[in-house]
Amino acid sequence: MDDENRIGWTTRLAAWFGYCFLVLPSIVVIPISFGDSTELTFPPKNISLFLYKKFFMDPSWTDPAVQSLIVASFTTAFALALGTTAAYGLVRGNFPGKTIVTVAFLSPMVIPSIVIALALYLYFSALQIQGSTLGLVLGHTIISTPFVVVSAMSGLRNIDPTYERAATVMGAGRAYIFYHVTLPLLRPAIIGGGLFAFLISFDEVVLSWFVSSARTMTLPVKMYSSIRWEISPVLAAVSSLLTALSIVVCLVVAFVQKKE
Amino acid sequence: MIRVPRWGANPAIFLLPLTLFLAAVLLLPILQVIVQSFETENGGPFAGYAKAFTSPLLLNVLANTIEIGLTSTVVILLIGYPIAYHLSRLSPRKRTLCMVFVLLPFWTSILVKSYAFAVILGHDGIINFLLRLVASQDASIKLLYNRAGAIIGLTHFLLPFMILPILSNLLLQPPELRKAAFVMGAGRMEIFWRITFPLSLSGVVSGLIICLVLSLGMFVIPALLGGRKDMMFANMIDFYVRETLNWNMAAVLSIILLVISSMLIAALLRVRGTGGLVSGGEL
């Protein structure tokens, strides 16, 4: 390595301390989840799937988990539909005020989620859909769509516009081109954006805490209440499952993007 | 005749769905919050805001929020800069590997992280377990349900948001600058402090602003890892909605938070240009 770019040992030490600090929490829950007592012990005394069984047999855990899956699936569908089309308009369009529109579309990323949560709570109460699954899907779509927009915009910039021009010259209309030429070329960006949208919705807690009811509780809301009132070891099993989900999503996205 | 679509003329059909959606489900609700913030019981429309700036409880919460936010941000910078620097000097293959250390917590649920810290920092948790191995059996250090817990949790959560902008800045610095300085006789430390660090300041400022904005709106971490005295702004909003059903005060606090965040984001856009939102650490 060039001398001026060599990393000193203090930097190396500091960096590795940092890496350990970063991954420690994600990893620590995994061994605990294979314990078999109903108390919090680390390291666990025996290895078993007791806690996982407890999770899967308990409707007060599985119902919110299923609800989270439903909400996340609908959210992903809407986020992809709204976000991909918007990204296409932003990248291929050329109009005054494009920057403002882009900032507006990406704004949910920078508005604190507590602000959005309160706003939706008041709004849905007025509309009498507070506490409904519809409300949850709408709220999650708001915060997930900007990520799809960013992913799609970056994907669109990497597509050769010649394909679209060729289709135009052959007489295809704009909508046809978008659906039959652009979208297939965008597949990695769509898969990536979609998976991230799914994960964001699945893990979203603040919005769900405000907008859900006892009947429509999502998994993060159940976890939040659970951590507040009684640190049950079942949480370790739930946490490990969620971490596994995050890892799978990241791997799939990395794999899909590497292929292209 | 060859018909060529005039892209510049009408992308509206593609922009319309999201525009309508956001107008209906984001813009209107926020406008409603603004209106709600002026709907007070008594004392005129500004009573809520007056209370926000004079009530000792709320001023205390504001002070907490700023204190916790600033302390965490400084700690994050101290831990995050070496990580970003280390990543920037690795070969691309090793960097991808080490990035996993940064991206894994980024994509882990905040509840999983909070639960993990509750286990690590608790009275019978890992840290105290190790402490008792080296010190006496009764030794214990209180790192949970207090300011320390909140700061540790917040620092961990926000680290990737500091690392990514600094890393992207460091990667963009032309290596020829350092080579030239080296050839002219500068040592590594001198190159860092006189060339690398000053050039990286825009990345540092971006990271600081992003971390500050995010910490102002934090809800879960102070609730789960902090104590009663560590309530932050967002917890106060939750309190007004859930405990006292005071929608007016909740709205007031929301608008104050929104205004402060917007000012900070505007400052961030100044520093980075609009590319900052897209490449400044989100994906």
Mean pLDDT of B221-234: 92
Rounded CA-CA distance B147/B194 in Å is: 36
Determine the residue type at B266.
Answer: A
pLDDT in tens, A193-243: 999 999 999 999 999 999 999 999 999 999 999 998 877 788 989 999 999
What pLDDT shows up at residue A213?
A: 92
8 Å CB contact of B108 and A26: yes
Q: List chain B residues with CB under 8 Å of A113.
A: 217, 219
CA B155 distance to own-chain centroid: 9
The domain limits of chain A are: 61-259
According to DSSP, the residues that pair with A131 across neighbouring strands are A212
Determine the residue type at B208.
Answer: L
What pLDDT shows up at residue A43?
A: 65
Those residues with Cβ within 8 angstroms of residue A65's Cβ, 6 or more apart along the chain or in another chain: A219
Mean pLDDT of B252-267: 93
Contact B48, B38 (CB under 8 A): yes
The count of CB pairs under 8 A between chains A and B is 295
Instruction: Reply yes or no on whether the pLDDT at A260 is more than 60.
Output: no
For residue A131, report the phi and psi dihedrals to the nearest 5 degrees.
85, 5
Mean pLDDT of B92-109: 89
Q: Which of residues 219-258 of B touch A (CB under 8 A)?
A: 219-220, 223-224, 233-234, 237-238, 241, 247, 250-251, 254, 257-258
pLDDT in tens, A71-119: 999 999 999 999 999 999 998 888 888 888 999 999 999 899 999 999 9
Q: Beta-carbon neighbour count of residue A33 at 10 Å?
A: 23
Closest CA to A227 of A205, A211, A243, A246: A205
Comparison of pLDDT for B251 and B278, the residue scoring more: B251
Instruction: Reply yes or no on whether the pLDDT at A20 is more than 90.
Output: yes
Q: Which of residues 4-33 of B touch A (CB under 8 A)?
A: 4-5, 7-8, 11-15, 17-19, 21-22, 25-26, 28-30, 32-33
Rounded CA-CA distance A256/A191 in Å is: 8
What pLDDT shows up at residue A34?
A: 83
Those residues with Cβ within 8 angstroms of residue B180's Cβ, 6 or more apart along the chain or in another chain: none
Rounded CA-CA distance B147/B153 in Å is: 10
Instruction: Reply yes or no on whether the pLDDT at B280 is more than 80.
Output: no
Reduced to 3 states, what is the DSSP secondary structure of residue A131? strand
What pLDDT shows up at residue A40?
A: 59
Asked if residue B175 has a cis previous peptide bond (ω within 30° of 0), the answer is no
Q: List chain B residues with CB under 8 Å of A29.
A: 112, 115-116, 119
How many residues comprise chain B?
Answer: 283
Contact B280, B206 (CB under 8 A): yes
> Is the Cα torsion angle A167, A171, A175, A176 positive or negative in sign?
negative
Instruction: Reply yes or no on whether the pLDDT at A54 is more than 80.
Output: yes
| pTM, rounded to two decimals | 0.89
B161 touches chain A (CB under 8 A): no
Instruction: Reply yes or no on whether the pLDDT at A161 is more than 70.
Output: yes
Closest CA to A139 of A121, A127, A126, A125: A121
Mean pLDDT of A42-55: 78
Kindly report the CA angle at B159 between B154 and B165, in degrees rounded to 5? 135
Q: Beta-carbon neighbour count of residue A83 at 10 Å?
A: 28
Label residue B282 by pLDDT band (50, 70, 90).
Answer: very low
Mean pLDDT of A124-143: 94
Closest CA to B79 of B147, B153, B156, B136: B156
pLDDT in tens, B34-56: 999 998 888 888 888 988 899 99
Label residue A249 by pLDDT band (50, 70, 90).
Answer: confident
| DSSP state string for B201-236 | HHHHHHHHHHHHHHHHT--HHHHHHS-GGG--HHHH
Those residues with Cβ within 8 angstroms of residue B148's Cβ, 6 or more apart along the chain or in another chain: B121, B142
Contact A41, A50 (CB under 8 A): no
Q: Round to the nearest angstrom and report the end-to-end CA distance of chain A.
A: 31
8 Å CB contact of A153 and B278: yes
Q: List chain B residues with CB under 8 Å of A162.
A: none
Q: Which fold has domain A61-259?
A: MetI-like fold (1.10.3720)
The answer to whether the complex's ipTM is over 0.90 is no
According to DSSP, the residues that pair with A212 across neighbouring strands are A131
- CA-based nearest distance A84→chain B, Å: 9
- CA-based nearest distance B132→chain A, Å: 14
3-state helix, strand, coil split of chain B in percent (to 5) is 75, 0, 25
- CA-based nearest distance B56→chain A, Å: 22
Q: Which of residues 93-132 of B touch A (CB under 8 A)?
A: 98, 101-105, 107-120, 122, 124-126, 129
Q: Which domains does chain B show, CATH number per domain?
A: 49-104+154-279 (1.10.3720.10)
Instruction: Reply yes or no on whether the pLDDT at B172 is more than 70.
Output: yes
What pLDDT shows up at residue A50?
A: 84
Rounded CA-CA distance A178/B260 in Å is: 40
The fraction of chain B above a pLDDT of 70, given in percent, is 93
